[in-house]
Amino acid sequence: MSHKVYVVGIGPGDFEQMTVKAARVLKESDVIIGYTVYIDLVRDHLPGKEFLSTPMTKEADRCRMAFSEAQKGRTVSMICSGDAGVYGMAGLMYEIGAKYPDIELEIVPGVTAATAGAALLGAPLTHDFCVISLSDLLTPWALIEERLLAASKADFAVCLYNPSSKKRQDYLKKACDLMLQYKSPDTVCGIGKMIGRQGQEKELMTLERLRDTGVDMFTTVFVGNSQTKVVSGAMVTPRGYKDV
């Protein structure tokens, strides 16, 4: 009997952007568990599989479901969009998995929105960068503010996840105001919407204009550092090579 659960990052959405290993693991699994939206991204490519899902905010229940299925001797994959270890389920699976010592966990990495969005926009993350989520569902906003200020003061390129929602419509504007304390209004920025999925869009703009740009939870935002520039229509953060 198998007593193993895979935690699989399925990438930004399009099946061809999933890693070869991730696709193989899903095809070898008996049951695939995930948030409903993520299940819909892979269902058509995996005929004959059993799919189990829970709605948003039921992440812990989803984890326990995965371990319960594994205890039956089934090969289980818990799927996450992007990479399972970047704002994904990998950490929670380890925490809950401590109660299931007979079940092995294996994390299968995937392409996260930071790297998929960077490729869409050009090369905005070629030098030091950080990723900050603007969702205060699990992180106090005061701490998010501190991280935005620190990253901006240190001249990091910044990738923003979860920049807005129905309840947080002004959070990107608030974040931009904080970053403008240390970054120039002309800082090159970019947004990617529906990255790797149908309806994909991209746009470059200044930090000043980004402040008043409408975004949603399917948008990833990129804020350059002081050296970031536009090259042939692409957002590029130089690494600093001297012989360019």
Give 66-123 pLDDT, tens digit per residue: 999 999 999 999 999 999 999 999 999 999 999 999 999 999 999 999 999 999 999 9
Architecture of the domain whose range is 114-236 = 2-Layer Sandwich (3.30)
227 and 157 Cβ atoms separated by less than 8 Å? no
Q: What is the mean pLDDT of residues 58-70?
A: 94
Going by pLDDT thresholds of 50, 70 and 90, the confidence category of residue 36 is confident
Indicate whether 127 pLDDT > 50: yes
At 1 the pLDDT is 43
At 2 the pLDDT is 52
CATH 3.30.950.10 boundaries in the chain: 114-236
Enumerate residues 6+ apart whose C-beta is below 8 A from 218. 193, 194, 197
13 and 113 Cβ atoms separated by less than 8 Å? no
Between 167 and 44, where is the model more confident? 44
CATH 3.40.1010.10 boundaries in the chain: 4-111
The chain-wide mean pLDDT, for the chain, equals 94
At 89 the pLDDT is 94
Question: Could you read off the pLDDT of 141-177 as tens digits, one per residue?
Answer: 999 999 999 999 999 999 999 998 878 889 999 999 9
Question: Could you read off the pLDDT of 172-215 as tens digits, one per residue?
Answer: 999 999 999 999 999 999 999 999 988 999 999 999 999 999 99
Please state the three-class secondary structure of the chain as a single string: CCCEEEEEECECCCHHHCCHHHHHHHHHCCEEEEEHHHHHHHHHHCCCCEEEEECCCCHHHHHHHHHHHHHCCCCEEEEECECCCCCCCHHHHHHHHCCCCCCEEEEECCCCHHHHHHHHHEECCCCCEEEEECCCCCCCHHHHHHHHHHHHHCCCEEEEECCCCCCCCCHHHHHHHHHCCCCCCCCEEEEEECCCCCCCEEEEEEHHHHCCCCCCCCEEEEECCCCCEEECCEEECCCCCCCC
CATH classification for the domain delimited by 4-111, as one of 3.40.1440.10, 3.90.1150.10, 3.40.1010.10, 3.30.360.10: 3.40.1010.10
Distance of CA 153 to the CA centre of its chain: 24
- Residue 32 β-bridge partners: 51, 77
At 14 the pLDDT is 84
